[in-house]
Structure 1
Amino acid sequence: MSITRKTNRKGVRDSKSLNRTKSVEQKFTLFEMFERFMNYKVTEGLVDPTIKGYYEHFRYFSEFVQGDLSNEEVTSEIFRDYIGFMLNEKKLAPTTANVRIRTMRAFLRYCFQEGWIEIPIHERFKPVKTPEDEIESFTPAEIKSLINQIDDTRFVGFRDKVMIFTLLDTMVRISELLNIKRINVDLNSGHIKLEAHKTKTKRARTVPISTKTVKYLKEYMKESDEFGSEFLFLTYDGRPIEGNTWRRRLTELGEDAGITNKRVSPHTFRHTGALFYIMNGGDPFSLQKILGHTDMSMVRRYIQMTDTDVKKQHNTFTPWNRVFNK
């Protein structure tokens, strides 16, 4: 009688496991592995700001290790030391450090899966624990102060004013704002279409704009028509605006306005717009669609209210108003 022997294996070696034993003998350096990783990320269709972010975060790490490393020299200890360096010497906020940590973990995960390193280093360090994020937002007075710093008698100043109105009104991301094309602005219906390949989620969406913003956009588009560019927001000589240029401009306006207790950035406008939308009586479901979030949990984070905000809302919507028909 023949007996079938049971195997002791609890799984089947996949092609990646087979490749790992073979390819780990290849002497890729840290820089070479990262370039191969980025070639892969580009094929995923990531937007340009995301690709630039990967390179920027890798540059911070390469400066820490002061040069290239062989794949055998890439160890978990190096990355633990890097985390300590960011937190203790560079004094980075945990949230800032975590952005860089997540980038490196994604890179190392790919290296392990491709068989370029033997050990799953990405599993041996994690983002640092942080308290619940407190998302900053502007007060109405701070927004007015920012706008008051602008000389809108000049083209650049008027453009900045229109950009701020559009940024707050639509709550778009900075990359989405700078990639808006003139053809996608419908002043008659009061909408702006965001093309799928220029949004973070790779999904097209349409954002509404208020009557006041429509008025400013109409005037701005008339003034900038002579440039003949397909893009909406341009420099004084008709070129598309770079994200870092606009961020620096907002920082300067914040300094001029004396706003030193919070970051004056495009993302702060996004948070502020979301909070004001809810405070003015907007519902979270339409807000989710405007923001372009697929998960309502992100919307909840965006509309964190201060105790003063909650008090104002309570005075307006207290259950007693229902009892006394107010």
Structure 2
Amino acid sequence: MAEQGPTGSGSDARLIALFLDMMTAERNAAANTVAAYRRDLQDAAGWLAGKGTGLGDADSDKLRAWLASLSRDGLAASTQARKLSAVRRFYRFLFNERLRADDPAAALDAPKRGRPLPKVLGIDEIGALLDAAREDGSARGLRMLCLIEMLYAAGLRVSELLTLPFPPVRGDQRFLMVRGKGGRERLAPLSPEALAAMEDYLAVRGRFLTKGAPSPHLFPSRGKAGYLTRQHFALELKKLAVAAGIPPGRVSPHVLRHAFATHLLAGGADLRALQKLLGHADIATTQIYTHVQDETLTRLVEDVHPLARR
């Protein structure tokens, strides 16, 4: 309990104000952050007041009941976690400043946040994207076709793709040497279609170079970075999605990597092999795609199985 005795709503307001002053003066918290803390703490104080307890007086059981109410109200786990974070900081401040003799929030468990499944495009949708890119015979169209073919053929991270060196392969090699996260290197195979798209793109690559200036990047740009940025690539990809009849919100460079992994796994690829192709350090990261496959199969049964329609 608080060393200063029971607190009422006025005292709660004073304690919140003291906490926010500390966040501003000592932590240099931004105005938006301070405002978010104020809202979350006032919301918690309002709920506790309805249960006959002040925020400054609440014990762990009352705070658990408050957390449970957030879940019952349907708040997202991320929102619950944010509110709990504000309350934890508040009570830690009270404890450190000797305004309370204990920290009732220290024993609270954070709400479990489910890991979202990655967005995935179907094989027919990948085909529609590729067809839309082929219809554009301009230099930009050939570059986009090459980018999509390489992402989908090798499952590269977008940063790995856009920073590929020039030339990316030598002679008749069919593998890229990719430097991934943590400086780890791996070989990434290219399909005949990806190699053909690269050859067509290389014939017009010079149009993206600054006049008279060579570039060490496969996908050069006249911008500050020296290579095509992920933001520009994402924007061009969404425009292509519209041309292909796919909602642009469902398409991004990373979605193409997800499609590569999901389609390989659905075709019978070994999970360990997929881990190496994706450059994951931990196979647990790769296992998310097994859940994607499970959901796809579940939807298939629900939509097609005759008993599901009864």
User: What band does the TM-score fall into relative to the shorter chain?
Assistant: 0.5 to 0.7
Instruction: Find the aligned partners of 1:62 and 1:296 in 2 and give their Cα distance.
Output: 41
Deviations 1:7-58 (A, max 9, x none): xxxxxxxxxxxxxxxxx9xx64426xxxxxxxxxxxxxxxxxxxxxxxxxxx
Q: Secondary structure at the match of 2:293?
A: coil
Instruction: Find the aligned partners of 1:274 and 1:259 in 2 and give their Cα distance.
Output: 20
In structure 2, which of residues 218, 233, 253 is the aligned counterpart of residue 232 of structure 1?
Answer: 218
Instruction: Find the aligned partners of 1:265 and 1:155 in 2 and give their Cα distance.
Output: 21
- Whether 2:192 is the aligned partner of 1:211: answer yes
Gaps of 5+ in 2: 1-21, 46-66, 98-102, 301-310
In structure 2, which of residues 120, 131, 147 is the aligned counterpart of residue 163 of structure 1?
Answer: 147
Give the residue type in structure 2 aligned to 1:139.
Answer: G
In structure 1, which of residues 267, 292, 308 is the aligned counterpart of residue 279 of structure 2?
Answer: 292
Instruction: Find the aligned partners of 1:126 and 1:263 in 2 and give their Cα distance.
Output: 34
Give the residue type in structure 2 aligned to 1:271.
Answer: H
- Do the aligned residues in 1 keep the contact of 2:238 with 2:249 (CA within 8 Å)? no
Q: Secondary structure at the match of 2:203?
A: helix
- Do the aligned residues in 2 keep the contact of 1:178 with 1:243 (CA within 8 Å)? yes
1:234 Cα shift? Answer: 3.3
Would the alpha carbon gap of residues 158 and 295 (structure 1) be closer, same or farther in structure 2, given more than 3 Å must change? Answer: same
RMSD, aligned α-carbons: 4.7
Q: Secondary structure at the match of 1:176?
A: helix
Structure number with greater Rg is 2
Structure 2 partner of 1:175: 159
Would the alpha carbon gap of residues 78 and 201 (structure 1) be closer, same or farther in structure 2, given more than 3 Å must change? Answer: farther
Deviations 1:87-137 (A, max 9, x none): 9xxx99767x79x96xx99xx9xxx9xxxx9699x9788875344633321
Structure 1 partner of 2:118: 135
- Whether 2:128 is the aligned partner of 1:145: answer yes
Instruction: Find the aligned partners of 1:276 and 1:160 in 2 and give their Cα distance.
Output: 21
Instruction: Find the aligned partners of 2:28 and 2:233 in 1 and give their Cα distance.
Output: 33
Instruction: Find the aligned partners of 1:165 and 1:232 in 2 and give their Cα distance.
Output: 14
Structure 2 partner of 1:275: 262
Q: Secondary structure at the match of 1:149?
A: helix
Instruction: Find the aligned partners of 1:276 and 1:124 in 2 and give their Cα distance.
Output: 43
Deviations 1:47-84 (A, max 9, x none): xxxxxxxxxxxxxx7645469xxxxx999949999xx9
Would the alpha carbon gap of residues 128 and 262 (structure 1) be closer, same or farther in structure 2, given more than 3 Å must change? Answer: farther
- Whether 2:183 is the aligned partner of 1:202: answer yes
What percent of counterpart residues are identical?
23
Instruction: Find the aligned partners of 2:252 and 2:139 in 1 and give their Cα distance.
Output: 21
- Do the aligned residues in 1 keep the contact of 2:261 with 2:274 (CA within 8 Å)? yes
Give the residue type in structure 1 aligned to 2:227.
Answer: P
1:213 Cα shift? Answer: 0.9
Deviations 1:224-277 (A, max 9, x none): 157321111234889411111112222222233332396211121111101111
Structure 2 partner of 1:222: 203
Instruction: Find the aligned partners of 1:164 and 1:232 in 2 and give their Cα distance.
Output: 14
Deviations 1:161-210 (A, max 9, x none): 11000111111111111111114434622111123xxx333322221111
Gaps of 5+ in 1: 1-23, 32-60, 68-72, 313-326
Give the residue type in structure 2 aligned to 1:249.
Answer: E
1:284 Cα shift? Answer: 1.6
**Alignment TM-score, normalising by the size of structure 1:** 0.56
In structure 1, which of residues 257, 277, 283 is the aligned counterpart of residue 244 of structure 2?
Answer: 257
Structure 1 partner of 2:288: 301
- Do the aligned residues in 1 keep the contact of 2:239 with 2:248 (CA within 8 Å)? no
Give the residue type in structure 1 aligned to 2:124.
Answer: A
Instruction: Find the aligned partners of 1:231 and 1:259 in 2 and give their Cα distance.
Output: 30
Instruction: Find the aligned partners of 2:144 and 2:170 in 1 and give their Cα distance.
Output: 20
> How many pairs were matched up?
234
